[in-house]
Amino acid sequence: MENEVIKKGKRAKIASYETNIKTTAQKNEALKSIASHLLIDKESIISANEIDLKSGRDNGLDEATLDRILLNEARIQAMSDAIIQLIDLPDPVGEVLEEITKDNGLKIVKKRVPLGVIGMIYEARPNVTVDAATLSLKTGNAVLLRGSSSAKHSNIALVASIHNALKAANYPQDAVLLIEDTSRETAKSLFTLTDYLDVLIPRGGKNLIDLVVRESTVPVLETGAGNCHIYVDNLADVEMARTIIKNAKTQRLSVCNTAESLLMHIQFFELHGKDFLNYLASDLGIKIYGDEHVCRVLKEALPATDEHYATEFLALTLSVKIVDNVYEAVHHINQFGTNHSEAIITNDDQNAEVFLNSVDAAAVYHNASTRFTDGFEFGYGAEIGISTQKLHARGPMGLPALTSTKYYITGNGQIRK
């Protein structure tokens, strides 16, 4: 007997044959309808979200996870606004990447084409439902969604709104399908749905991503957890460093581009370390795990281990280490980082260049917060995720990341000799 994953996988595959030939105007009309219907249906969406939030609190979910689940009028409006921005972006499908005419008159053209059917498996965040759906639609793909039990009711309400919108726009509703069964069995079934999925994208914590990468027989577009670092160099401006770290660490704790580790040059530490650490601990309320230098000047600090240096806390917690130079900072980051987003604060252009070129990460920053690693901030509209791998796509994945290529060859009777 076919389970829900297989049934909906078949439907998504059939829908993809129709979506991949939709015009830009048809796709944009569907997106416009979704942007409108999310606002029309916001009360039912928020009501469903409240069920998930209550269940989450009853089950002892932490505040960072509850924040990821939360939908309110402002966040739904932001979803709608992001879709409008997405409509205005160029459609990558059909873009000519290469064009060659052979001596024999054979014309070879390489174009962007849809991937086909995208599988999304993700945790907590119901906004991913809308991001994945709209990015997939804009690129002519179908998408099969599998969220977590913690946001089940929210996801069902969002997809119901999307289906209403697609129906109003005369667009195939099976282009966006949700697996409502959130059991582990359905996840495992999704991992091996090679007959119907062209790519699988996990979005969530490290354990989920590692599980998908390890067990999936479907090609995986890997999104990474975010153990992001701020390195304060010896020639850093103190006030700039304070401002950037406050933003990178405290603006929103539950997202992957939040800073989790702080490195300080020994000279900066000797001049400003005590005041700086007191600012973090007392003024900002950050719990600090530090090395022996840190624990010596900040009595509240707890000794840091390699596990702390490797942890994505998603909380008001920070690991702190003192280093002798930019090279030691780079080594530490490459050892403990997750290849996501890393920043240096310095007025030394040479040290900045060393850092930016040597750190292995999808996004590197000089004198700016890591919180900018985001599809919306990069001008992509919504994002499907932030890739920390190096093949096909890296960093915030916007529209081009959801396309493949096809060669179109035109002749007038040529044969190979």
Q: Where are the domains of the chain?
A: 4-223+397-410, 228-372
Read off the pLDDT of each residue in 216-229 and give the average, rounded to a whole number. 87
Read off the pLDDT of each residue in 165-178 and give the average, rounded to a whole number. 98
CB 191 within 8 A of CB 218: yes
pLDDT tens for residues 99-157?
999 999 999 999 999 999 999 999 888 999 999 999 999 999 999 999 999 999 999 99
Q: How far apart are CA 48 and CA 91, in angstroms?
A: 33
Residue matched to tokens 């062209």: 198
Q: What is the pLDDT of residue 92?
A: 96
Q: How far apart are CA 411 and CA 104, in angstroms?
A: 9
Residue 379 predicted with pLDDT over 80 = no
Report the percent of the chain where pLDDT is more than 70.
99
Q: How far apart are CA 285 and CA 255, in angstroms?
A: 19
Q: How far apart are CA 130 and CA 80, in angstroms?
A: 9
CA angle 361, 362, 364 (to 5 degrees): 70
Mention the CATH class of domain 228-372: alpha beta
CB 329 within 8 A of CB 355: yes
Q: Which of 347, 378, 341, 381 is nearest to 359 (CA)?
A: 341
Q: How far apart are CA 289 and CA 237, in angstroms?
A: 24
pLDDT tens for residues 264-298?
999 999 999 999 999 999 999 999 999 999 999 99
CB 336 within 8 A of CB 307: no
106: Cα separation from own chain's centroid: 41
Name the phi and psi angles at 243, rounded to 5.
Answer: -65, -45
* Alpha helices (H) along 231-377: 238-250, 266-278, 292-297, 306-309, 326-336, 349-358
Read off the pLDDT of each residue in 32-46 and give the average, rounded to a whole number. 98
CB 44 within 8 A of CB 157: yes
Residue 23 predicted with pLDDT over 60 = yes
- For the CA atoms of 298, 300, 302, 308, what is the dihedral angle to 10 degrees? -90
Return the bridge partners of 342, or none. 229, 364
Query: Within 13 Å and on the Cβ side, how many CA atoms surround 59?
Result: 12
Residue 47 predicted with pLDDT over 70 = yes
SS3 assignment, position 379: coil
Q: How confident is the model at residue 382 (pLDDT cuts 50, 70, 90)?
A: low
CATH topology of domain 4-223+397-410: Aldehyde Dehydrogenase; Chain A, domain 1 (3.40.605)
Q: How far apart are CA 275 and CA 279, in angstroms?
A: 6
pLDDT tens for residues 388-416?
777 777 888 889 889 999 999 999 999 99
Q: What is the pLDDT of residue 217?
A: 94
Q: What is the pLDDT of residue 225?
A: 77
Q: What is the pLDDT of residue 1?
A: 52
Q: What is the pLDDT of residue 381?
A: 63
- The pTM of the full predicted model, rounded to 2 decimals, is 0.81
- Do the domains 228-372 and 4-223+397-410 match in fold? no
* Burial class of residue 279 (count of CB atoms within 10 Å of its CB; 0-12, 13-18, 19+): middle
Residue 91 predicted with pLDDT over 80 = yes
Q: Which of 92, 123, 81 is nearest to 211 (CA)?
A: 123
Helices and strands, counts by H and E, the chain: 15, 16
Q: How confident is the model at residue 182 (pLDDT cuts 50, 70, 90)?
A: very high
Q: How far apart are CA 159 and CA 177, in angstroms?
A: 7
DSSP secondary structure letter of residue 283: I
What rounded mean pLDDT belongs to the chain?
93
Residue matched to tokens 């282009």: 175
Least confident range from 58-62, 222-226, 252-256: namely: 222-226
pLDDT tens for residues 293-308?
999 999 999 999 999 9
